[in-house]
Structure 1
Amino acid sequence: MNQIPLTVRRAIEITGLFFLGWIIVLGKGLLAPLLMAFFISIMLLPVYRFFRNRKMPEAVAIGLSLLAMIVVLGGIVWFFSSQISVLIRDFPTIQKNVMNHLNALSVWVGSHTPFSSQEQINFVKEQSNNLLNYAGTLLGGVAGGVTGTLIFLGLLPIYIFLLLFYRNLLLRFVFLWFPRDNHEKVEEILREMQVIIKSYLFGLLIQVTYMTVLLGGLLMIIGIKHALLIGIIFAFLNLIPYVGALLGNIIGVLLTLASSAEIWPIFVVLGTIAGVQFLDNNILMPRIVGSKVKINALATIVGVVVGGEIAGIAGMFLSLPIIAVLKVVFDRTDQFKQWGVLFGDERPTRSPMEVPVLRWNTKAIRQKLERENEIEPPHEGEKEEETKK
């Protein structure tokens, strides 16, 4: 049988990607909770195995694992709501500070521009009316979004329970897709995916905790009002690569501006956030999550934007682990290695236009680039530990 020409193969790949994207967009209501449940179920595997080692029935072990997850999430929601209630109690003071800042801004604008106070008031009223009209439209969309969120949250524990209960059946389904000669490579990919997902998601959980404590604690010591609320909001938004940190800074500034009659706390908050983020990005997070898979910034930003367009906030959170899983699969398959290169951060120091060897698709070159970029594959010890479990 004649081999399919390379151009035809590439055309089939692009067409397949188009239809895959189309299916994802059409089925996002089903796929978003299912993917979230898949990642959470992998995170819950150590808890599930702990209960199973105590000779508990399988359904009971899964139920207790879900209960532990619900207790943790309930604690986070309670902490967040308690901080919001403190913010609501301070609303009269916040309203007064906002008016003071607006008056000061009006005086500054009047002294540096030809616009009078009356013209500024008319402009503010006009924009306020536009904002109210927009808010009405937005609330209509939110009402529909709340229903979707409730369905999402209702399906999530059911999917997690079923994925854990039928995990052996699903694994057998995966192996039956491939010839027996490829089963060893499939097993290697599955174990590597599990190690990466667990290290990444547990790292994010630890990151949220220490970012909240570190940022909130420092701001509290300095004397910034609503320090813990700023800390927890920034910690969760920071989980969204690049975009989340920007939103966290903006919300932190707005909360500080509304809660203080002075300007200097804003610079303190921005400086503290920058310092904590530098510590997180360069020291803490690399040690916690490790460097098993590195996704380049371009793929990360595009993935976050595409995930947000497809599934909103959930899609933005899921984008990075999905790209990491896809990269593991692409790197281990001969047909899709070029896509793994596109997602990865194994950046050559010289141009492939000048060094022809960098154009080759070989294991030795990939390993050399991984060493140069300090990217480590999952260690053999981790694989042996997963095997024992």
Structure 2
Amino acid sequence: MQANANKQSPFLIKAPLILIGLYLFFYFLFLLKEILVPFAFAGLIAILLNPLCNRLERLRIPKVWAISLSLLLAALVLAGLFYFLSAQISQFGELIPTLKTRSQELMGELQQWVALKLGISMEKQTDMLHKLTDNGQQYLGHTLGSIFGVLGVFFLLPVYTFLLLLYKNQLVNFIYESFGSEHKEHVQDVLQSTKGAIQSYIAGLLIETAIIAVLNSIALLILGVKYAILLGTIGAILNLIPYIGGLIAIALPVMIATVTNDNFTTPLLIVGVYLLIQFIDNHLIVPKVVASKVSINALISIVVVLMGGALWGVSGMFLSIPFVAILKIIFDHIDGLKPWGKLLGDNNPGNLIKSNHKKE
């Protein structure tokens, strides 16, 4: 009995320590989000721009100038995108009074239908709407705060990205020295494989976003939805947030079409077309463009997106999937952590069971 108690005591001691450590880790991540969020975005951008910097350096351009030119090119691409969408954004502001009037008409018709069919009085519906409006304003304020936090990130992004690219050799040498000279070859192999996979993954996400933006915009233009390019591009960006972003991406054009049209045919067609685009994205674009070896299963995707949103708001929702994908890449290259990589992956459990059965 005493021997069994001694065997169980280490686990009983380790489990609370692990939970306390995890709590403190996430608590510090929450406290330092103003510093860590721009640093995390800068890390992804630095990884993406690193091949361009290396190519410019091979052309005998000084390192500082190579980094500056890479950042300038990235800034020009973003500026071109914002300029392209700015005209539609300004026109969208002109439609707001019309949208408000039409929304009030539709809401009045809906309230009358509810009072007639469900027996809920207009006064009770009004009270319920006021409560929902108050909660919605609080959530909107939190969301806008997160969005302004994201905008604030852009002032620090160039500085962080520049410094990460400038001191990348020191950071790599620090990793080598941390693991010792006897593990240098293995660490080098892990770093090279991880860097290449991350670069291809992030580049694949950008290409996927561009393709989805084009498909969304074409579909909305054919259906005659106003601000099709703006809504299509926003939907493609939201598509980076698994499942949750896709639902919001569908809701936005449906809402605009419902308010600006007298029939419900167009909103239904939008839902159908967007579901078709989602099917094409999941079964054709993602397997071909985004590296399948870093695909994350649906359960993990939903959990980490919700955790990222609770931890860092909108920024956390966007960052959660790329960073879990990076963790999966690292896990897949380290023998002791490969089971965790399989847990995060999107392998079909049925296929795994069949393959294991055949081996036996």
Shift of 1:171: 0.4
Residue equivalent to 2:250: 249
- TM-score, structure 1 as length reference: 0.80
Gap runs ≥5 in structure 2: 1-6
Cα separation, partners in 2 of 1:254 and 1:213, compared to 1, 3 Å: same
Shift of 1:57: 1.6
Matches within 5 A, 1:113-262: 113-115=118-120, 119-120=121-122, 122-123=123-124, 125-127=126-128, 129-130=130-131, 133-134=134-135, 137=138, 145=146, 148-262=149-263
- TM-score, structure 2 as length reference: 0.85
**Structure having the larger proportion of residues in helix:** 2
* RMSD (Å) for aligned C-alpha atoms: 3.0
Residue equivalent to 1:275: 276
Q: How far does the alpha carbon of each residue in 1:234-262 deviate from its partner, in whole angstroms, 9 at most, with x for none?
A: 10111001111111122222121122121
Equivalent of 2:100 in 83, 95, 104: 95
- Indicate yes or no: 2:34 matched with 1:29: yes
Shift of 1:308: 1.1
Cα separation, partners in 2 of 1:16 and 1:139, compared to 1, 3 Å: closer
Q: What amino acid does structure 2 have at the position aligned with 1:89?
A: E
1:240–1:316 contact (8 Å) kept in structure 2: yes
- Indicate yes or no: 2:342 matched with 1:337: no
Q: How far does the alpha carbon of each residue in 1:55-112 deviate from its partner, in whole angstroms, 9 at most, with x for none?
A: 2221111111111111222222233332222222223432343244234323432432
Shift of 1:348: 4.3
Shift of 1:22: 3.4
Inter-partner Cα distance in structure 1 for 2:304 and 2:338? 18
Q: What amino acid does structure 2 have at the position aligned with 1:265?
A: T
Inter-partner Cα distance in structure 2 for 1:137 and 1:290? 39
Cα separation, partners in 2 of 1:164 and 1:105, compared to 1, 3 Å: same
Cα separation, partners in 2 of 1:229 and 1:16, compared to 1, 3 Å: same
Cα separation, partners in 2 of 1:209 and 1:350, compared to 1, 3 Å: closer
* Residues matched between the structures, number: 350
Residue equivalent to 1:307: 308
Indicate the percent of aligned positions where both proteins have the same amino acid.
35
Q: How far does the alpha carbon of each residue in 1:189-243 deviate from its partner, in whole angstroms, 9 at most, with x for none?
A: 1112212221121112112211111111122123222222221121011100111
Cα separation, partners in 2 of 1:100 and 1:18, compared to 1, 3 Å: closer
Inter-partner Cα distance in structure 1 for 2:80 and 2:297? 34
Residue equivalent to 2:69: 64
Inter-partner Cα distance in structure 1 for 2:339 and 2:285? 31
Shift of 1:180: 1.8
2:254–2:267 contact (8 Å) kept in structure 1: yes
User: Which segment drifts farther, 153-162 or 79-88?
Assistant: 79-88
Cα separation, partners in 2 of 1:125 and 1:113, compared to 1, 3 Å: closer
User: Which segment drifts farther, 105-114 or 304-313?
Assistant: 105-114
Shift of 1:338: 3.3
Inter-partner Cα distance in structure 2 for 1:77 and 1:62? 23
